[in-house]
Amino acid sequence: MQTLLIALLLPALSIPVIYGVGKKSAKTAALFLALISLVSLSLLLTLIPTVLNEGQYVESYYWIPTLGSAFTLFVDGISLSLAIVTLILVAATTVYSINYMEEKSSLPEYYALMSLLTIGLVGVFITSNLLLFYFCWELMLVPTYFIIGGWGYRESFAAAFKFFIFTHAGAIFVLLGIGAIYMLTGTLDIFQAQAILATVDPNVLTWVLASFTIGFAVKMAIVPLHMWLPDAHSEAPAPMSALLSGVIIGAGGYAILRISLGTVYSAMPPIVGNEFLYILSFFGVLSAFYGSFLALAETDIKRIIAYSSISHMGYILFALSLFPFAEGITGGVLHLVNHAASKGLLFLTAGAVMHQTGVRDIKEMGGLASKMPLTAIASAVAAFSIGGIPPFACFISEFHIFVGAVTAAGSDGSYFLPTVLMLIATVFSLAYVLRYFWKVFLESPKLQRDDIKDPHIFINIAMIALAAFVVILGIYPGIFIDLIYAVTSI
């Protein structure tokens, strides 16, 4: 069965339908897009037994014979896990948008762009062909630019343009890496290229590795390539912020693992590549501390969460630097899943607060738990997960990361200091989420208004569904761990 092809084509084929339906009813268009996302999700879920039993699932179609390039769709435990959480987030943010965006104009275009974005988001995770990967990588950029600019807040187009310039500049480095891979191997398939790259001069591979990693690090918003992220998050509408932080920047982490490490680095002699891993760990620690400190100092509700995303991408980069220790990489990929769900939920709850109060500054809030109890509960689940508090999702992935870090430190003493620093960074993560939740929901009320209440039904449905998912990921993460570990333990 052409499961992956159908899952990828459904959002593409639905774009004109969504646009046409949206002209008559934006709500119907949103529900149709959510349904399409859930159908694609159901198709991917049917592949779980195959991936667990056989390790991967591949579909290959005739495409560009002059390049020897097939249209290859592929999932293993890592890519399938990330594609699943992506579609869950797309469905949740689309349902959320029904009430959140109802007073905005041009909603048929908005939902059509969301469907287009879904193709790029999912496509990045389910292909082993570098050309198709790059197509989807850039496809994420275009609808994101228009959604931030067209439906954002105060200086939305300036933030969207900054996002476009930074991430497109990063994409140039990715394209250079892809061109080098094709020149050196004659193939665009990452698995075929990996075997051939083992025969290439390591000095040449060092430049290819650097090109890919710089390009992916821009999308991942690793310090000092992070400058686009706070503005893009603070100006984007809440559903876009949830996808931007939950999936788009996480795609950079996936790409570093799959291409930089899995394809290029793994073909290099270990004695040549170890310095690269130390560099990754350094920038991971730097990003974790930088994001945490700025989140502690910030008062804009969305910028706090944006800086938190920088911090958690630091956790993931640190985990990737533990390559090839299975526990560390498993924790890193699981953290991509858990962070996507938790941070997506946190942005949705922040959007609900802004939607109901019209206020962005947490110093002007306080006491909202009594007025917005459902929002407060969902926000607590998301914030405590981001803070690494059990039994919520991010605790278990951080635990795996540090088990891997301790293992690496035991075999290589140079990892002792980065591991200790990352453990200290978790304290600051907990500090900023507790400050955030206290200032917004528990502190003495600053808004003396009686009209503040939980938002309308569709926003609540999306928040409650994602909150339940975050709790399930924390209590029973077994299926994702099994999927991921089946790859990382090889």
Residues 358 and 154: their CA atoms lie apart, in Å, by: 13
Q: Which residue has the tokens 């920038």?
A: 283
Residues 379 and 428: their CA atoms lie apart, in Å, by: 19
Q: Which residues, other chains included, contact 384 with Cβ-Cβ below 8 Å and sequence gap of 6+?
A: 392, 433, 437
Q: Is 69 helix (H, G, I), strand (E, B) or coil?
A: strand
- Domain residues of the chain, as ranges? 278-490
Residue 273: predicted pLDDT: 61
pTM summary value: 0.95
Burial class (CB in 10 A: 0-12, 13-18, 19+), 35: middle
Residue 182: predicted pLDDT: 93
Residue 489: predicted pLDDT: 63
Q: Find how far residue 120's CA is from the centre of its chain.
A: 13
The closest alpha carbon to 128, from 69, 54, 198, 211, belongs to 69
Residues of the chain with pLDDT under 50: none
How many helices (H) and strands (E) are present in the chain, helices listed first? Answer: 22, 2
> Distances in Å between the alpha carbon of 375 and those of 100, 339, 383, 466?
14, 19, 12, 12
